[in-house]
Amino acid sequence: MNALERKNSAGWDDQRIELIIGILLRSGVLLSASVVALGGVIYLVRHGHAIASYHVFHGDASPLRSVGGIVLGVMQRSGRAIIQLGLLLLIGTPIARVVFSALAFARERDYLYVAFTLTVLAVLLYSLLGAKP
Amino acid sequence: MSILLFTALVGLGSLLAGFLGSLTGLGGGVVIVPLLALVFHVDMRYAIGASLVSVIATSSGAAAAYVREGYSNMRIGMFLEIATTLGALVGAFIATRVATSTIAIVFGCVLLYSAYLSTRSRPAEPVDGKQDRLARMLHLDGYYPGSDGKRQYYTVHHVPLGFGFMFGAGTLSGLLGIGSGAVKVLAMDQAMRVPFKVSTTTSNFMIGVTAAASAGVYLARGYIDPGIAMPVVLGALAGSMLGAKVLIKARTKLLRLVFGAVIVVLGAEMIFNGFTGRI
């Protein structure tokens, strides 16, 4: 029997899981794009007439390099921080997909793939939380 | 240039990049970095940061459409994502340690190679051969809906070679802020003998996760600037959605040729600017 044809008692097959993943990805992208657009409007209204200067790199001094810094900025209603929150949601979208895949493989009792998926999740979380600036 | 004008022009350029990238299947990321660095004189680090997040947006958007068609193989994708995410992490760390001019030269070489790949004709569908032991153990073999409605079964080969290729694809993605879909398709299509349509859709599925693995490092290093990323993400996303809508009607052969020529020019210019230290 082919692994892809396997159905379990709950009626979850790979096709159904892929359908849910499709919805998950689409909503994640739409939500994050809306937040980025909202922050963009606030940013442009307030700072649109300032001069753009990106020729020299100042990123290492930006307060928007950590989740904490972004949340602090959003509470002050900073347009740049709201854009960054949207980008954080965007980065979170494929991570949410990996979490869902782990659950789906667990329901299929495919423990080899649960292990593979958790390995990928560990690498993603290390990058997002463990990488020191 | 005012921020308003900068945002409008970068947004427009990214829209065009996303549109052509989606029509030709080469991805918009490969032209967004040279566009920002060469045309708008944006620092390379900001350019690859903005490009990387736009790659997450366009690939996740496209993958959402593809998974419903049933071509992508979740198990192949998930298994190979171990290689691509580890590679992406390594690539992102290398990116923070080498000079931007070196990154520009590597980028230029990848652009030239992508252009070369796009000129080659699509390889023939691999025939269903004998099963590979490792692929069978990992449940990688699968099927896709054939044109006659019947299931087309396929087997997967050379798993370790494909895994190695994928590590390389992830490293390039993390180093350059691109999806490196071309290398991913090469690994699945050429090395593992996965059918073309399955390779392209599964590769698209993997790009978002791969990019997310280096995005954390980029964010912590300040490579992701909201002022640049905003027009790039929104422009590229709108462009790729538009591209997916007109894909059926467009004459992609001519477009691929034009886009390929643009990539060659950008690649040569990136290499030149890298060697002269202007980037």
Residue A104 structure tokens: 């789906």
**Residues in chain A closer than 8 A to B153 (CB atoms):** 2
3-state secondary structure B41-69: CCCHHHHHHHHHHHHHHHHHHHHHHHHCC
3-state secondary structure chain A: CCHHHCCCCCCCCHHHHHHHHHHHHHHHHHHHHHHHHHHHHHHHHHHCCCECCCCCCCHHHCHHHCHHHHHHHHHCCCHHHHHHHHHHHHHHHHHHHHHHHHHHHHHCCCHHHHHHHHHHHHHHHHHHHHCCC
**Of the listed ranges A76-80, B154-158, B266-270, the one predicted with least confidence:** B154-158
Q: B82: pLDDT confidence band, cut at 50, 70 and 90? A: very high
pLDDT at A17 over 50: yes
Q: A3: pLDDT confidence band, cut at 50, 70 and 90? A: very low
pLDDT at A45: 97
CB contact under 8 A, B226 and A84: yes
CA atoms A78, B59, B105, B31: torsion sign: negative
CB contact under 8 A, B224 and A87: yes
- State the average pLDDT for chain B: 88
SS3 B238: helix
pLDDT at B270: 95
CB contact under 8 A, B60 and A29: yes
Complex-level ipTM beyond the 0.85 threshold: yes
Which one, of B146, B101, B149, lies nearest residue B125 by Cα? B146
To the nearest whole Å, the CA of A10 is away from the closest chain B CA by: 19
Q: Are A42 and A80 in contact (CB under 8 A)?
A: no
Q: Which of A18, A59, A81 sits opposite B221 (nearest CB)?
A: A59
- Domain residue spans of chain B: 3-275
Which one, of B16, B7, B90, lies nearest residue B42 by Cα? B7
Tell me which chain B residue has its CA closest to the CA of residue A85: B226
**Residues in chain B closer than 8 A to A88 (CB atoms):** 219
**Residues in chain A closer than 8 A to B60 (CB atoms):** 25, 28-29, 90, 93-94, 97
**Residues in chain B closer than 8 A to A107 (CB atoms):** none
B2 has which bridge partners? A51
- For the whole model, what pTM was predicted? 0.91
pLDDT at B249: 61
To the nearest whole Å, the CA of A8 is away from the closest chain B CA by: 16
Q: List, for residues B91-128, the tens digit of each pLDDT value.
A: 999 998 999 999 999 999 999 988 887 777 655 555 55
What proportion of chain B, given as a percentage, has pLDDT over 70? 94
B143 has which bridge partners? B153
pLDDT at B154 over 50: yes
Q: List, for residues B247-269, the tens digit of each pLDDT value.
A: 656 666 777 788 888 889 999 99
CB contact under 8 A, B2 and A54: no
Residue A68 structure tokens: 């904490």
Q: Which of A36, A48, A87 sits opposite B3 (nearest CB)?
A: A48
Residue A5 structure tokens: 């044809």
Which one, of B272, B223, B208, B228, lies nearest residue B67 by Cα? B208
pLDDT at A5: 47
Q: Which of B41, B141, B234 sits opposite A37 (nearest CB)?
A: B234
Q: Which of B6, B78, B139 sits opposite A120 (nearest CB)?
A: B78
Give me the phi and psi of B222, to 5 degrees please. 80, 20
Give the span between the Cα atoms of B218 and B5, in whole angstroms. Answer: 26
Q: Are B253 and B31 in contact (CB under 8 A)?
A: no
Give the span between the Cα atoms of B76 and B110, in whole angstroms. Answer: 25
Mean pLDDT of B168-178: 94
pLDDT at B248: 59
Radius of gyration of chain A (CA): 20
pLDDT at B11 over 50: yes
Best residue in B67, B97, B138 for a mutation probing chain A (most A CBs within 10 Å): B67
pLDDT at B204 over 90: no
**Residues in chain B closer than 8 A to A38 (CB atoms):** none
Q: Which of B1, B74, B138 sits opposite A18 (nearest CB)?
A: B74
Mean pLDDT of B55-64: 89
pLDDT at A4 over 60: no
Q: Are B110 and B197 in contact (CB under 8 A)?
A: no
Residue A62 structure tokens: 């930006």
To the nearest whole Å, the CA of B161 is away from the closest chain A CA by: 18
Give the span between the Cα atoms of B64 and A22, in whole angstroms. Answer: 4
**Residues in chain A closer than 8 A to B81 (CB atoms):** 98, 120
Q: List, for residues B31-46, the tens digit of each pLDDT value.
A: 999 999 999 999 999 9
Best residue in A127, A128, A132 for a mutation probing chain B (most B CBs within 10 Å): A127
Q: A2: pLDDT confidence band, cut at 50, 70 and 90? A: very low
- Domain residue spans of chain A: 20-130
